[in-house]
Each structure stands twice: as structure tokens, then as C-alpha cells.
Amino acid sequence: MSHGAPITSSSGIALPLLRPGPHQRRLDLIAVVATFGGLLFGYDTGVINGALEPMKHDLGLNTVTEGLVTATLLVGAAVGAIVGGRMNDTLGRKKTLTIVAVIFFVGTVGGVIAPNLAVMLPSRIILGFAVGAASVTVPVYLAELAPTERRGTLSGRNELAIVVGQMLAFIINAIIAGVWGHHDGVWRYMLAVAALPAVCLFVGMLRMPESPRWLISKGRHDDALQVLLQVRNEDRARAEIAEVEHLAEEESESQTGGWADLSVPWIRRIVVVGCGLAMAQQLTGINSVMYYGTQLLTEAGFSASAALIANIANGVLAVAGSAICLFLVIDRMPRRQLIVRGFIATTAVHGLIVIAATVMPQGITRAYVILILCVTFVFFMQLALNVPVWVCLSELFPLQLRGFAMGLSILCMWLMNAALTFAFPIIVGLTGLQGIFSLFFVVGVISVVFLWKMLPNTSGRSLEQLEEAFAGGDFR
Amino acid sequence: MTILVAVPDSKEGAVALAAAADEAELLDTDLVVVNLGLGPLDTSSLPPTLKVTVTKRTGKADRDPVDAVLADIEEYGATRLVIGVKRRSPVGKALLGSVSQGLLLEAPVPVLAIKIDDPHR
């Protein structure tokens, strides 16, 4: 980063440099709370991977109810993402996140004490609601409080925190199973740990200020300046108010488009591409591995306790892939190329898993081959299809349609995730690993063809240039 | 007197814009163009002598194009609305509703509806 010269924000407003000062500590706190939001999200989605096996025996689950326990969280998350967006606008970011942290806690406790499915399923929906609401609120809140210089790296760091949260859940599950594995309700200990980040988020949020952009969108300019004075040097804070106003206007503009605009063919086309991309990302089966990795590895031939430990490899490779993507790959390869190649790679690995699962005799060699292929898949997925897909979606839609189209894509993503998560144990129960990975392979081939034909390259051009090209019928 | 024209990003939009310009010249009034599309609108084809104001949809309140046009009719005190209409399939109407129908039924001013699929034009 250059020193001395004032920086120019995304809106073209020149801002004085951010200098060290007492506000620095508050900015660091923001970064910590940022990390906890992502960690919490990852931990709560990943903890079921490992808790499910002992829970199955304890609560007497079959493949259908097993799918339900996992998938109800995602249905709740889809609802939470929509309602959370509304709460953000009306209550403000801070109040929403504080409420969300309490809901997190309630959902977690419900799951921990659940004596049967009648308590477990509603608890999973409540927890899912909090997960979904947090997923739409945390990134927005952080982006609105962070200085322009740091804003770009924040959303990537959030994705990284999510996979680290999942990895931590896998590791802590393996440790708990190692220490208290002989206890009947060992899964209850695993779920209980997820209350910790929720408490941290709650305590952290109490000390955080409201988002200046939200305050300005409610016409509370003085309050917004007060917040900025806490987290910036004074000259910078006063200069930044203008930028925040511009961003609030831009955000209001991004809410313009809706269903009616889908009557225009070029708009319909990019919305179809966006929703298709979001669903294709889920249909790689990444979350089946992240939620059911332990069962999958047991099915491959590991013993229950070895599978819990082997499953940690999935978490580690997910973190490695995300980190390499963020620090090395994302800005160096055209977006379309990265995403299409990513789908080719994951689909090829799916094909290899089908072959290995079919031709290899049962035994520990087969188990290890499938483990290696599985972590290779997770690595390629996180390298090319996690953050790049989100960045691509955020660049794809014209400004006025962005709010609506992003919302629709994210809804498609959650619903596809929920449907697949529900179906996974049932399909594995009926057809084994070969069946489910054959399905992933076939859908992967379809995704590659769809994206090859439809996906425009969104990197290397300004968003305005992109919009002009799409409106003129040029979708390259 | 002011003529207001609703211009979606479609063939009806172009036809309505041309008809509204003729109408405004004929009646010697100014013209308010409501751009219902999400991209910028090309108004270079309009006669340079005409006094034209172009507005666009902004924000959640304008998400429904019908509401956006009704709000602009009130804001600019328009006395006539020009729209383009075409035949639509029942499925198309069920899926996306009809902006033209909404405007015909709800506009507080006389509506001049230009048909694009009229063979006599």
C-alpha cells in the first residue's frame, strides 16, 4: 500500500489516510468479531459431521430422519437469510446481530438437551434461522464499518473463517469422541461447544457501534458521524461521511429491480446464469462432504473412530484450498476460466471416486484411496468454486438488479443445499457411494456444459462495461 | 399539459416512445419519459425541438414499474399517459403479470395505448 498520498475510495471521493490512533483498537475488535461471525457459521454447519453418528444410535434415526436433522438447519437458514435481510433494514445491523446471537444460543441449547426428534427438529430450524440471518448480516455490517483500504479483503476473510470454523468443528469432534466416546450422549457435548462462539459474538456485539451506513439510510447523520469518529481519525471521519452517503444511495439503487424486470430477455438470461451457478456450486456435493464426511468415510471402509479422525483431512484441505485461492489465485486467472476449470476438476474427481468405489475390493486400501480423492475434491472446490463463485455473482448483475438477483441466487443456493443434504443419506443408503457420486458426476458434466455456454467472464472489465455488454446481447 | 410515456426495455417501449413524441409535437406540450428498463435509455431519436425530461426507477419503492409510473404521473402533473401494448400468452401473464394492464386500470389520466402487433400500423 502506498503511504503519504490520500486514497481514493470506490466512489471516487478522496479520503485522508487512516493513521494510527485510539480508534485502532476498535477496528481490531471489529476484525475479531468478524472472525467470530464466520467461525460460528462454519462451526454450526460443520459440527453435525461427527455428531450425527452417535446421535443416530441415541435417538434411533433412520436415513430419512438423519437427512431431516441435517437439512432442517438449512431450511431454517433459507428463511433466516430472507427475514434477516429485512431485520437489517428495519432494526439496524447491531440490534439484528445481537438478537441473532441470542437465537443461536437458544437453538444450540435446544439441540443439546433434545430428548427426541420432536425437540431436535425445531431446534435445528431455530439454529438454522440464526445461521442464515448471520450469513446475510455479518458481511454487510463489517463491510460498512471497515475502512475502504481493508474492505476488499474482508469478505474473503469471512469465507476463510467459515472453513476454519468447519475444520475446528471436525477437530474438536474427534477430540471429544476420543475422550468421552464411551458416553451415551457424546454428541450432546459436541453440539454444546457451538454455544461458545455464540456467546463471544453476543459479548462482542454489545461493544460494537451501529453501522454508519444504516444510520445514514435512516437519516441519522449526527449519529453516523459519532460512530465514524470512534473508528477513524477525525479528519478522515468527516471526509468519509460523504462516501458513506454515496454508498447508501448506491445500496438503495441496488434494490430497484424485481420480478417485473425478468420480462427483459438479457436480464432473464443473467439471472438464470446466476441462479444456475449458485445451484451448480451446491450440486458438486461440497456440503454433503462437509456435513456427512464421517459417514462417507465409514461407508468407504474406515472404522467409526478412524473416520472421525480422517475427516479432519477434509477440513484441513478446505482451509488450504480457500487460503491459496484468496492469496494466490483469485486475481491472477480470468473468473470464467477459473470457475469452468474448477467444475471440470471436481467432476473428474467424482468420476474417479465412482470408479474406485466400484472396482476396488472392500478394505483399508479402498478407504484410503477414497479419502485421498475426497480431499482432492474438497481442495479443488475451495480453490476454484467457493470464493470465485461469490465474487462472480457480486459482479454479474447490473447495479439496479443486484439486491433482488443476489437474494434470489442465495435462496436457490440454500434450497439446493437443503434438498441435497436431505437426500444424501437416503441415496447413499439405497445405492452406496457409487450411486451418489455417479449422480454428482452426471450433474457436474451438465454444469460444465451449462457454464461453458452461458457464463460470461466478469473479471477484467468494470461493472459498467459488463452491464453495457450484456444489455447489447454480448455474453462473453 | 404534459405527456408522460412509460418505456420498458422492449419493442413496445420503442414504439410507445416514438408515438409519445409525435403526440407531444402535435399537441405542442413537453414530454416526460419514464425509463422502466434497468439500463440507460437512448433518446437521441427524439426531435431536438421537444422539451424532454427523462426519469428512471430508483430504490425499492420503484421496484414495481406500475407504482413507479403512477408516482411520476403525480410528480410531473401529467395529463396523458402513453404506453405500448402487445398480445401476451396466458402463461406469460400468470408468471410476470402485466404492467400495461396495471397502468390501464390504475392510471388517473387518459391512457393512449399503442399496439405493436397491429397489422394496420
Q: How many Å from the N-terminal Cα to the C-terminal Cα in chain A?
A: 33
**Domain match, A287 and A159 both:** no
Closest CA to A141 of A104, A82, A91: A91
Handedness of CA A324, A10, A96, A31 (dihedral sign): positive
Residue in the structure block whose three cell numbers are 430477455:
A265
Angstrom distance (rounded) from CA B11 to CA B114:
11
**Residue A137 falls inside a structural domain:** yes
**A322 and A471 assigned to the same domain:** yes
Q: What is the distance, to the nearest Å, from the Cα of residue A33 to the centroid of all Cα atoms in its chain?
A: 16
Cβ contact (<8 Å) for A252 and B60? yes
Q: A232 — phi, psi (to 5°)?
A: -140, 165
- CA A37 to CA A132: how far, in whole Å? 11
Nearest to A451 by CA among A333, A343, A332: A343
| Interatomic CA distance for residues B80 and A223, integer angstroms | 44
Query: Is A255 close to B59, i.e. CB distance below 8 A?
Result: yes
Assess whether A203 and A328 both reside in one domain. no
Domain boundary among A175, A208, A241: A208
Q: Are residues A267 and A184 in the same domain?
A: no
Separation between Cα atoms, residue A367 and residue A375, nearest integer Å: 12
Is the minimum CB–CB distance between B64 and chain A shorter than 8 Å?
Answer: yes
Q: Please enumerate in sequence order all residues whose Cβ is within 8 A of that of A361, keeping only pairs 6 or more positions apart, or say none.
A: none
Domain match, A405 and A326 both: yes
CB contact under 8 A, A260 and B99: yes
Is the domain of A173 the same as that of A295? no
**Helices A117-145 and A23-46, packing angle to 10 deg:** 150
Full domain range(s) for residue A129 = 21-208
Smallest CA–CA separation between B89 and chain A, in Å? 13
**Nearest to A475, CA basis, from A459, A460, A461, A455:** A455
Rg of chain B over Cα atoms, rounded to whole angstroms, equals 14
Give the best residue of B63, B64, B86, B89 to mutate against chain A (max A CB count within 10 A): B63
* Claim to verify: residue A184 and residue A281 sit in the same structural domain: no
Chain A residues within 8 A of B59 when measuring between CB atoms: 252-253, 255-256
Output the nine-digit C-alpha cell for B120. 394496420
Each residue's pLDDT tens digit, A33-54: 767 878 888 998 899 998 998 8
Residue A157 lies in a domain: yes
Distance CA A318, CA A346 (A): 13
Same domain? For A64 and A180 the reply is yes
Residues on chain B touching A264 (C-beta within 8 angstroms) = 8-10, 37-38
- Chain A contact for B9 (CB, 8 A cutoff): yes
Give whole-number Cα distances, A302 to A362, A363, A432, in Å.
10, 8, 15
Tell me if A261 and B38 make a contact (CB, 8 A cut-off).
Answer: yes
Domain shared by A204 and A72, yes or no: yes
**Residue A228 resides in a domain:** no
Cell of A51: 455428531
Q: What is d(CA A387, CA A345) in angstroms, rounded to the nearest whole number?
A: 16
Give first-to-last CA distance, chain B, whole Å. 27
* A3 within some domain: no
Cβ contact, residue pair A261, B10, below 8 Å = no
A106/A28 same-domain check: yes
* B34 touching A (Cβ < 8 Å): no
* pLDDT of A230: 85
Residue type, A74: L
Yes or no: say if B77 and A300 are a contact pair by the CB < 8 Å rule: no
Which of A252, A260, A401 is facing B65, going by the closest CB pair? A260
Q: How does pLDDT run along chain A (476 residues), one tens digit per residue? A: 334 445 555 555 667 777 777 777 777 777 777 678 788 889 988 999 989 988 988 898 999 999 999 999 999 999 998 898 889 888 998 899 889 889 988 999 999 999 999 999 999 999 999 988 888 888 788 778 877 776 666 667 788 889 999 999 999 999 999 998 888 889 999 999 988 888 888 888 888 889 888 898 888 989 999 888 888 888 888 888 888 888 888 888 888 888 888 888 999 999 999 999 999 999 999 999 999 999 999 999 999 889 999 999 999 999 999 999 988 888 889 999 999 999 999 999 999 999 999 999 988 999 999 999 999 999 999 999 998 998 898 889 988 898 889 889 988 998 999 999 999 999 999 999 999 999 999 999 999 999 999 999 988 888 888 888 898 888 88
**What is chain B's percent helix, strand, coil content, to nearest 5?**
40, 25, 40
Cα–Cα distance between A176 and A169 in angstroms, integer?
10
Of A357, A168, A379, nearest to A289 by C-alpha is A379
A257 neighbourhood in chain B, CB within 8 Å: 38, 63
CB atoms within 10 A of CB B7: 25
Contact B85, B113 (CB under 8 A): yes
What is the secondary structure of A122-181 as a DSSP string? HHHHHHHHHHHHHHHHHHHHHHHHS-HHHHHHHHHHHHHHHHHHHHHHHHHHHHHHHHHT
Interface residue A255 vs chain B (CB under 8 A) = yes
Query: Which chain B residues contact residue A468 at CB under 8 A?
Result: 39
Region of B77 please: left (phi>0), alpha (psi -120 to 50) or beta.
Answer: left
- Is residue A252 assigned to a domain? no
Do the Cβ atoms of A339 and A389 come closer than 8 Å? yes
**ipTM above 0.90 for this complex:** no
A252 chain-B contacts, CB cut-off 8 A = 58-60
Mark yes or no for CB contact A398/B38 under 8 Å: yes
In this predicted model, which residue has the larger pLDDT, A344 or B63? A344
Residue B119 pLDDT level (bands cut at 50, 70, 90): low
Would residue A234 count as lying in a domain? no
What pLDDT does residue A57 have?
A: 87
* Domains of chain B with bracketed CATH: 2-115 (3.40.50.620)
Q: Which residue is closest to B8 within chain A, CA to CA? A: A264
Residue A15 lies in a domain: no
The last residue of a domain, from among A173, A192, A208? A208
A36 and A198 Cβ atoms separated by less than 8 Å: no
CA distance, residue A285 to nearest chain B CA (Å)? 31
**Residues A69 and A141 grouped into a single domain:** yes
Q: Looking at A192, A208, A224, which one is the last position of a domain?
A: A208
pLDDT in tens, A456-476: 998 888 888 888 889 888 888
Nine-digit cell at A115?
430428548
Domain match, A179 and A279 both: no
For residue A235, tell me if it sits in a domain.
no
- Identify the CATH number of the domain in which residue A449 sits: 1.20.1250.20
Nearest CB to B96 within list A263, A398, A400: A263
Q: CB–CB of A38/A97 below 8 Å? A: no
Number of domains in chain A: 2
On chain B, the residues whose CB falls within 8 A of the CB of A398 are 38-39
d(CA A62, CA A425): 9
Interface mutation target, options A261, A401, A404, chain B, most CBs of B under 10 Å: A261
Overall size of chain B counted in residues: 121
Q: Which of B58, B59, B96 sits opposite A262 (nearest CB)?
A: B96
Q: By the 8 A CB rule, do A406 and A322 touch?
A: no
Q: Which residue has the cell 472404522?
A: A303
Q: What is the C-alpha to C-alpha distance for residues A57 and A36, in angstroms, rounded to an integer?
A: 32
Residues 6+ apart with CB under 8 A from A269: A454, A470, A475
d(CA A405, CA A86): 16
Check if A463 contacts B (Cβ < 8 Å). no
Q: What pLDDT band is residue B120 in, cutting at 50, 70 and 90?
A: low
